[in-house]
Amino acid sequence: MYVLGQGIKNIWRNKFFSLASIATMAACIFLFGLIFSLVLNFREMIREAESGVTITVFFEEGITDEKIEEIGNTISERAEVAKIVYVSAEEALQQYIDEYMDGSEEAAEGLLEDNPLADSANFEIYLNDISMQSTLASFIEDIDGVRQVNQSVVAANILSDFNNLVAYISAAIIIILVCVAVFLINNTVSIGITVRSEEIGIMKLIGASDVFVRGPFVVEGILIGVVGSIIPLVILYVLYVRIVNYIGGTFTFLADILAFLPVQTVFMYLVPVALLMGVGIGFVGSFFTVRRHLDV
């Protein structure tokens, strides 16, 4: 309790350095949170695009319903498969009419009487991981009863490459921001503790242990980290909600393209990460900075 109380008093006694540390921490975590939110939304948009890419599996002529069900069970056991949708010959014809024969009702009626897609029943397979599309397609081609497998190679490669690019760029930016935050916080805390080096020296000379001397400064660093994390989180929350509402209300034509994640989903990940960053940087900065002044 004494250490905790002294840590709180240190913040109040050294308001200038405490405010400087909190401001620096808040600025760094705000930038981190901004990038983090953008990355989460980009990855979700890519995932949504990936979910629409399918593998289409056609069957050999004269295949029985039991054999089709067996093929479906074999495919569904694969880890790459998210969902399998069976499309009958009648449904395949109806999809063709809806897409290509709108306004030609007489021709469509003729097709319905004599279905030219009688052997076009198929499975539409949705994947968990689009990068595994080729592997799954090769596996399906070897299944007895499968006539043809269509896959979207170009779309899969583009989405997979873009997903990797976003991951690499976001990781690099976040690492740079964390390094900058550690550097700035360490310098700010160092200045505050250097000013109090004489106080530390007196405490050591009268017999205070290293743990006793370091304790208040570590508490101070952690508290600064917590406050420096909460401030940008509040700002980011308000900013995110307003930006999403503004884009959704002003640019309605983008609603289907830019499907932003709910604020609760974003902050479910961002809050613990930001708090952990703030506490961790505050602890490390104060712990190792004080250590340099313990030898008297």
Residues 74 and 122 in one domain: yes
Residues 68 and 213 in one domain: no
Annotate 161-183 with b (16+ C-beta within 10 A) or e (fewer): eebeebeeebeebbeebbeebbe
- Residue 27's contacts (CB-CB under 8 Å, 6 or more residues apart) are 232
Residues 143 and 189 in one domain: no
* Of 119, 151, 183, the domain-final residue: 151
Mean pLDDT score, 266-294 = 81
Q: Does position 108 have pLDDT exceeding 60, yes or no?
A: no
Give the whole-angstrom CA distance, residue 227 versus residue 278: 8
Q: Does position 109 have pLDDT exceeding 70, yes or no?
A: no
Among 83-97, 101-115, 185-199, 258-272, the range with the most confident prediction by mean pLDDT is 258-272
Residues 180 and 250 in one domain: yes
Annotate 218-250 with b (16+ C-beta within 10 A) or e (fewer): bbbbbbbbbbbbbbbbeebbeebeeebeeeeee
Residue 114: DSSP 8-state: S
Annotate 107-138 with b (16+ C-beta within 10 A) or e (fewer): ebeebeeeeebebbbbbebbbeebbbbeebbe
Map tokens 């190792």 to a residue. Answer: 288
Whether the Cβ atoms of residue 178 and residue 36 lie closer than 8 Å to each other: no
Residue 143: DSSP 8-state: S
Domain membership flag for residue 90: yes
From the list 76, 64, 163, the residue with the least C-alpha distance to 124 is 76
Domain membership flag for residue 66: yes
CATH code for the domain in which residue 66 is found: 3.30.70.3040
- Residue 138's contacts (CB-CB under 8 Å, 6 or more residues apart) are none
pLDDT, position 95? 64
* Of 151, 178, 197, the domain-final residue: 151
Indicate the range of 12-16, 78-82, 229-233 predicted with least confidence.
12-16
Residues 129 and 270 in one domain: no
From the list 261, 234, 268, 233, the residue with the least C-alpha distance to 247 is 261
Residues 45 and 88 in one domain: no
Domain membership flag for residue 158: no
Residues 170 and 240 in one domain: yes
Residues 234 and 254 in one domain: yes
Residues 41 and 62 in one domain: no
DSSP SS3 for 55: strand
Mean pLDDT score, 75-97 = 76
Map tokens 């009863």 to a residue. Answer: 145
Residues 75 and 221 in one domain: no
* Of 122, 151, 180, the domain-final residue: 151
Cut 0.85: pTM above it: no
Domain membership flag for residue 156: no
From the list 214, 220, 224, 174, the residue with the least C-alpha distance to 294 is 214
- Domain total in the chain: 2
Domain range enclosing 221: 2-49+165-291
- The token pair at 13 is 């006694």
Residues 130 and 221 in one domain: no
Residues 215 and 280 in one domain: yes
